[in-house]
Structure formats: C-alpha cells, structure tokens
C-alpha cells in the first residue's frame, strides 16, 4: 500500500511473500486534498484519489526492488484499454513480476467502477493486456457490484491468471457537528476487519463460478482470517489495513498462526485447505 522502496523492503523482510504496489497511472497524480484517510470504529475509510508519481518516475523504485529480489506485483489503473496496455508493457519492462489491473477503485470516476462494473470492458482490457504481457496478469474486483460473478467470468474468459478480491467497500462518514461528510471526496472505500465477511462471501461466490486462482483480501489481521479466505477458495491472500493495526510483524504472525492451525488439524499443504468450505 506504499510505493516507497524502503518501506516495501521492510515489509518483505518481515515475512510477506510478495509486494503489491499502490496503483500506478501513466502520469503523476496528486490525488485528493486532505482529509483522505480516517480511522473508524472497525476499519479505515479512505479516498486518496490514487496519488502516485506516474509509471516512469516509479521505475526507479521498481529497479531498487528488483535488485533486492523482491517479487513485485505492479498495480496499474487507466481509463481505457490503451492506457492499461501501455502501463502493463512499462511495468513489465521496468521489472514487475506480475501485473494487477485495478478496475475497482470505489472513489475515482473514470478510472474505477465505471470500467470494472462492465464485463465487456473488463474482458477487453484484460484480453489486450494479456496479449501484450509475458508475466501473469491479475484482475482486482470490487465488492460494490451486483454482477461480481459476471465480472469474474469476464476476467477468466480473457485468460486472466488470477482474480484479486476485494477492493474497498464504498462508504461514507458524516461529521454531525459540521453537517458534512468528513472525507474531502465525500465518498471513500472502507477496509479492515469490518469488511472481512464481505470479502469472504465474494471469494466464495467467485470460487464457485470460475476455475482460475483467487487472491483473497479484505480485513485480514490473523491466521484465522486468512484461513477463512482460503477455505472460501483463495489460493493466496493480501494484507493492507492489517499493517496499520498490527504493525509490520503481521506477516510473520499470520504465517505462524496458519502453520499452527494446520499442524493442529493435520494438514501438510495449503492446497489441502483451498475451497474446503464448498464441500
């Protein structure tokens, strides 16, 4: 969730298997003005507006990460097929090991759900990025959709290598003294513990309907949380807000808690647990 190479290195050294960058666009983007992030009772509400230095400026960070041999998933966003393809080609050229297509940001107009809620567009963008890429391509899906299965199937049809679910849940906080939404953008995306049941349900539904791997994300703070996603059908998980709540050691802790649970229940491989909640 942070595009700075120093902080990504710290996270890697703390036990994460790979790192996903913040979403990167073609040109530098300042994002929204403050407030952009607020902590609520059970999670974090953010509308950052996809701030990033642009893909070319970001290449220096990627180069540092490459020299550290850190597996890197480059997240990209664009407003159409041509932008996504250009970004994917550059991400690969600069050294990313996989590409994550962010078509699911809940608080940016032309770059988010306008694209990610349309199965034809998702299929078209994914297909063209796949054609121009030699590294795995993941499609990140929003929970703010009535047609989540249709979108997942569109990604599968376009030969996406995996689906990432979920992005943040569209949400709002109002300051009742000031009679106004707190975020400068008014609407934001909710993350953290509160959204875990939503994420688990999305992964479960997607797993029932597609045959490509799913990467589960949303509200994971413990090994038990990760196991829920895996039993729902995820082959891997990502952690975002958990870093804020539990600190940088969260990755090691989650891995240890999963291992402990597996030992106790007589499992040897994660693959034995993936999707068991479906049987």
Binding residues for ligand FMN (CB under 6 A): 1, 22-23, 37, 44, 46, 48, 50, 75, 102, 140, 167-168, 191-192, 195, 217-220, 239-242
Task: Please answer whether residues 107 and 64 qualify as being in contact, where contact means their C-beta atoms are separated by less than 8 angstroms.
Answer: no
C-beta nearest to ligand FMN: residue: 240
Closer by beta carbon to ligand FMN, 54 or else 267 = 54
Question: Residue 174: which H helix or E strand, with range?
Answer: strand 174-175
Among the listed residues 16, 105, 152, 226, the single catalytic one is 105
Q: Has 105 been annotated as catalytic? A: yes
**Residue number, 102 or 133, with CB nearest to ligand FMN:** 102
What is the nearest approach in angstroms of ligand FMN to the Cβ of residue 209?
A: 20
Residue 245 or 267 having the CB closest to ligand FMN: 245
- Residue 205 to residue 117: CA distance in whole angstroms: 16
CB 264, min distance to ligand FMN, A: 25
Task: State the maximum Cα–Cα separation within the chain, in Å, rounded to a whole number.
Answer: 55
Question: Nearer to ligand FMN by C-beta: 94 or 190?
Answer: 190
Helix runs in the chain, H state only: 5-13, 55-67, 81-94, 113-116, 119-132, 148-157, 196-209, 223-232, 241-246, 250-264
Q: Which of 218, 182, 195 is nearest to 32 (CA)?
A: 182
CB of residue 266 to ligand FMN, shortest distance in Å: 29
Active-site residue list: 105
């Amino acid at each position: 969730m942070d595009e700075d190479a120093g902080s990504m290195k710290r996270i890697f050294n703390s036990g994460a298997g790979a790192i996903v960058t913040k979403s990167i666009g073609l040109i530098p983007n300042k994002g929204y003005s403050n407030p952009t992030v607020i902590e609520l009772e059970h999670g974090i509400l953010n509308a950052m507006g996809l701030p990033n230095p642009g893909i070319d400026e970001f290449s220096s960070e990627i180069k540092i990460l490459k020299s550290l041999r850190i597996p890197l998933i480059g997240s990209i966003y664009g407003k159409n097929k041509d932008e996504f393809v250009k970004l994917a080609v550059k991400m690969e050229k600069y050294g990313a090991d996989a590409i994550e297509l962010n078509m699911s940001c809940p608080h940016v107009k032309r770059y988010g759900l306008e694209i990610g809620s349309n199965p034809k567009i998702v299929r078209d963008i994914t297909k063209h990025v796949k054609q121009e890429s030699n590294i795995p391509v993941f499609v990140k899906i929003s929970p703010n959709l009535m047609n989540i299965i249709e979108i997942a199937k569109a990604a599968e049809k376009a030969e996406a290598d995996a689906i990432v679910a979920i992005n943040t849940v569209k949400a709002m906080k109002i300051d009742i003294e000031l009679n106004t939404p707190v975020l400068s953008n008014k609407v934001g995306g909710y993350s953290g513990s509160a959204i875990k049941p939503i994420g688990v349900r999305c992964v479960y539904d997607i797993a029932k309907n597609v045959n490509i791997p799913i990467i589960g994300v949303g509200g994971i703070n413990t090994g038990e949380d990760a196991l829920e996603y895996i039993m729902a059908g995820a082959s891997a998980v990502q952690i975002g807000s958990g870093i804020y709540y539990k600190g940088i050691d969260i990755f090691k802790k989650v891995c240890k808690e999963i291992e402990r649970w597996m030992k106790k229940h007589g499992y040897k491989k994660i693959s034995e647990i993936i999707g068991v909640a479906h049987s």
